[in-house]
Structure 1
């Protein structure tokens, strides 16, 4: 008999140059495992090889996301008697298959049932080998399903201490399968489903979360890497930071995870394919854990430890002090300069991820404003006998070096430039957008791309500075958000630096914890805005956390505001112009560059200048209500 669900879309075939279907490799599929349709199949046969044996029963279960979508089961007439020992093993007798459909009828029905899925079998070469041979015998093309072998997966994650072998019956017992294997196709397929789900559950913490990950999950692990897995012994199952340490006590690599034990263990499995990480593991002598109260604290500690130790196997965040800014210099006749620090009394944008990006932003500003580009310090009164450069001759500089009136003209230009840096960047965006459109219409795409890249660099730097500045100026900010268990995660930020965190248990008044946090949090001296007191990426992490839905502002030491017509607000129109001109959207959604945590909406402490006590009262009143009703819905941000 058959029990089938409607066929899924045919996703397992791609066109081949010969017109025949070809197999899709797992590398071609980027599907989360919970979205993958698996067909778990089991066969009973008259022998061990398709060369001289035939199929007597097919059983299959279709599952996706842990849900059974359908089952397929039928006896098959093998075309001859079933050997006695096979009858004893399976319970399928020759009499039972008399009148059953032949493989010519069964196989097309099974292939229809399995269409668009990933085949799974315990000892897949056996079952898939018989199915392929059957297809060849009746002249039917084999679709080339992706195949997962639960035996190979089990060899990677089930140790000999847990099970003496990797037989289906052994694994079914280990994982408490709901069906006991009995050498009948459907029962064995059902048991294999439970084994598959258990194995995927063990693989998930090792980073095996997508279908393509399974292609390498069962690969062998080098012996020298496998021997290092004892480094994970004793690590806590808690959020925090881990440090791989070398033979000279040097920090090799710093990482963070919500589960230190699980993440560190993954470095010693076949799932870790990065050659640099394999090299690092071979050098490492120990792993030092740093347990953190919250995931945000772990992320921040990771940044700080990377900046402190500059581990050679970490690629990012190693030298925050080298991140460049663009400064409008503080001198009688200002100019633009790429610098490494922020000084008071003048305008800055950034920081940028590289000096090249900062230079692109400078070029965008020079294209929009005719400010001087020479590096000499000019007096307010031009020196006698001074000569102008070629930029003055072509109208790209007011020549303050030779013309007294040029100093006045230059000062007016600088005022407009400063306004674009600190507020509305329209004076930069609009001419660049028009230039992009004009060049694209003339099919001068390479030049248009250069203009686009300069504009994008400027917008990233300006938007980042405008976002960092109010946080850097904020002497203290306290915010909180609900934890999954119903408690509170509280953070205290001073001048953009995470000064302290606390976890408040469920049904507990958070006010004492908040006051204690204020008393014990790190003292942070005020920085020179827009630079925050800590790592710029730390401030990005804090902003991302504050912008998550459900975050509540408990208190702020001063009003928090940003320009209405800011660089970030101008991002979308600029991108729209670029798209209309035939170019990809400007990638300015992450003003910090590739390492930022993404854009967030600032909490609505912006227009609300309520006092700290008023904010605390509103926050604590809601917390008290939740103490009585822990399931109450989240209110809006204070």
Structure 2
């Protein structure tokens, strides 16, 4: 039936096909994938560009080229993609490859493209690929044409449930949809796989009545009845920064969150923009919202973590059990050994972590064992009561202090080396693991090399985290401020714990304000381990704020420093698999 609209009043006219939107079958999609030397567009380079142009289910063309990034390709990237330095040595630079891609895609750099008429860029986890393309255009003097971008990752999360797939990575979705071209971490192969996933998602979108590009761009899962009925719960929430607490009919906490604008954030839970299944289930139980206004964004972030840890809301997935984190400890005994523990004790032992899982802590322990021949047994022995050595001694991976083959003094040297690697100088362990990775790669033993890479990454991540935390926890008091609207946010941090916060308004006496804030701040005492008086999560929030732009250190009661050769120096080695961030 023809579409009829009133224009002018009283006159019926027939709508045009253009008013109905651009049919997806008539839309040109350019599916793109990049391989890079790292995950940050401001520091890494592009090594390969792959793209497939499709319309109406038909492939119109393909584009693929290696790119010389004009920088070294890290070994872990070569392991992941198979792209070596020799392969890109004769490839064009980005100054030549980028214009060729833009021309293939129909993205002309003279000015912004007409979003509804030009090609639509498609990528899986689009912010990554589009971020690199934008940065490349900026570096090489091209105007980013700002096309319409479709990201298959969030669409897949809405349309493909966890009952159907274990995650929403490209390889998993390609297998689920039966795509013949599986991803291989090569750009053109991955672009072809994304085409198959796109077509699978478009078929599912048809059942939701999504047939045009405009509908695709605004696609949302419809609101539930509970979301419609309970929107009034946000009416009395103030427009201020802070923490919000959803409660049920008994007043028990269901969920805790934070926002710079409490009313706007709480209202979003009752709209179609909220698509998380577990949150929609929670809304059916919600009977009240408790707003907690905070003076600063950092205070809100910290209060959220403390409330989640205290109340353990059933619908919060993260930060509910900070005390269950895994740590790696070098024990204090006659012959120290590495032990994965759940508690940091006041025993003057070195710890690294916390780790995201026990498996990651085990990998870090394996990294240290690979570099330093510490004993791996749990037996108790002494020079006066020797025991038989295990097979590790025969393999040369332990000096066998248990049977007297290695003297206590010699073993103490290994223990000291392990403690130094954990607390001050990670270089020996990193270099030892890197040497193994290089040798195994040359011998084409890639699976073994990947295991060593994982061990190295886990050790560096855990050691860097502990050293950052320990450095802040060693400072009795640190006062810092950041300019904001309408004044300055000021925070007092004691032994790593946020002890006081406030916003100093324009015209206030800064000395008097800071003096009063310090006097009113929470009293905090020192304690053992890298995070004695605050959870690691809280301290990470504080550290992120201290590292943000515009921070001014007002006062510090002790030096705040990290080891010069500490694990932080090698943090780039932990960023080896961007796919892990997809889900």
Once the two structures are superposed, residues 388-444 of structure 1 have per-residue CA deviations (whole angstroms, 9 ceiling, x without a partner) of: 111111111111111064322211111111111111111111121121122222222
Offset at 1:229? 0.8
Q: What is the alpha-carbon root mean square deviation over aligned residues?
A: 3.0
Once the two structures are superposed, residues 262-286 of structure 1 have per-residue CA deviations (whole angstroms, 9 ceiling, x without a partner) of: 1011111111111000001111111
Is residue 2:525 matched to residue 1:525?
yes
Offset at 1:470? 1.5
1:261–1:395: structure 2 CA closer, same or farther, 3 Å change rule? same
Question: Aligned equivalents of 2:468 and 2:376: distance in 1?
Answer: 28
Secondary structure in 2 matching 1:351: strand
Offset at 1:250? 1.7
Q: TM-score, normalised by structure 2?
A: 0.63
Corresponding residue for residue 488 of structure 2 = 488
Is residue 2:55 matched to residue 1:21?
yes
Once the two structures are superposed, residues 145-166 of structure 1 have per-residue CA deviations (whole angstroms, 9 ceiling, x without a partner) of: 989xxxxxxxxxxxxxxxxxxx
Question: Aligned equivalents of 2:427 and 2:361: distance in 1?
Answer: 19
Secondary structure in 2 matching 1:366: helix
Offset at 1:502? 1.2
Is residue 2:459 matched to residue 1:458?
yes
Which among 302, 313, 322 is matched to residue 304 of structure 2? 302
* Conserved 8 A contact 1:468-1:532: no
Corresponding residue for residue 470 of structure 1 = 471
Question: Aligned equivalents of 1:293 and 1:338: distance in 2?
Answer: 39
1:216–1:114: structure 2 CA closer, same or farther, 3 Å change rule? closer
Question: Aligned equivalents of 2:517 and 2:483: distance in 1?
Answer: 17
1:117–1:233: structure 2 CA closer, same or farther, 3 Å change rule? farther
* Conserved 8 A contact 2:29-2:53: no
Corresponding residue for residue 224 of structure 1 = 226
* Conserved 8 A contact 2:481-2:554: yes
Question: Aligned equivalents of 1:212 and 1:541: distance in 2?
Answer: 38
Corresponding residue for residue 158 of structure 1 = none
Corresponding residue for residue 279 of structure 2 = 277
TM alignment of 1:74-113, pairs within 5 A: none
Corresponding residue for residue 509 of structure 1 = 509
Offset at 1:216? 2.6
Question: Aligned equivalents of 1:479 and 1:213: distance in 2?
Answer: 46
Once the two structures are superposed, residues 488-536 of structure 1 have per-residue CA deviations (whole angstroms, 9 ceiling, x without a partner) of: 1100001111001011111222211211111111111212132241110
Residue ranges of structure 1 left out of the alignment (5+ in a row):
1-10, 25-68, 71-110, 119-144, 148-210, 576-583, 588-592, 595-638
Corresponding residue for residue 603 of structure 1 = none
Q: TM-score, normalised by structure 1?
A: 0.58
Once the two structures are superposed, residues 203-228 of structure 1 have per-residue CA deviations (whole angstroms, 9 ceiling, x without a partner) of: xxxxxxxx9985234x5422222101
Secondary structure in 1 matching 2:407: helix
Secondary structure in 1 matching 2:254: strand
Question: Aligned equivalents of 1:335 and 1:263: distance in 2?
Answer: 49
Offset at 1:376? 2.2
Offset at 1:113? 9.9
Matched residue pairs, number? Answer: 394
Corresponding residue for residue 215 of structure 1 = 218
* Conserved 8 A contact 2:242-2:258: yes
Question: Aligned equivalents of 2:547 and 2:289: distance in 1?
Answer: 33
Offset at 1:363? 0.8
Once the two structures are superposed, residues 75-127 of structure 1 have per-residue CA deviations (whole angstroms, 9 ceiling, x without a partner) of: xxxxxxxxxxxxxxxxxxxxxxxxxxxxxxxxxxxx99963279xxxxxxxxx
Corresponding residue for residue 360 of structure 1 = 363
Which among 552, 560, 576 is matched to residue 585 of structure 1? 576
Residue ranges of structure 2 left out of the alignment (5+ in a row):
1-25, 32-51, 59-110, 121-146, 150-213
1:270–1:392: structure 2 CA closer, same or farther, 3 Å change rule? same
Once the two structures are superposed, residues 317-371 of structure 1 have per-residue CA deviations (whole angstroms, 9 ceiling, x without a partner) of: 1111111111100111100001122233221111111111111100111111111
Between the two structures, name the one with larger relative contact order (CA 8 Å, sep ≥ 6).
2
Question: Aligned equivalents of 2:54 and 2:513: distance in 1?
Answer: 68
Corresponding residue for residue 547 of structure 2 = 547
Which among 332, 335, 342 is matched to residue 333 of structure 1? 335
Question: Aligned equivalents of 2:215 and 2:412: distance in 1?
Answer: 59
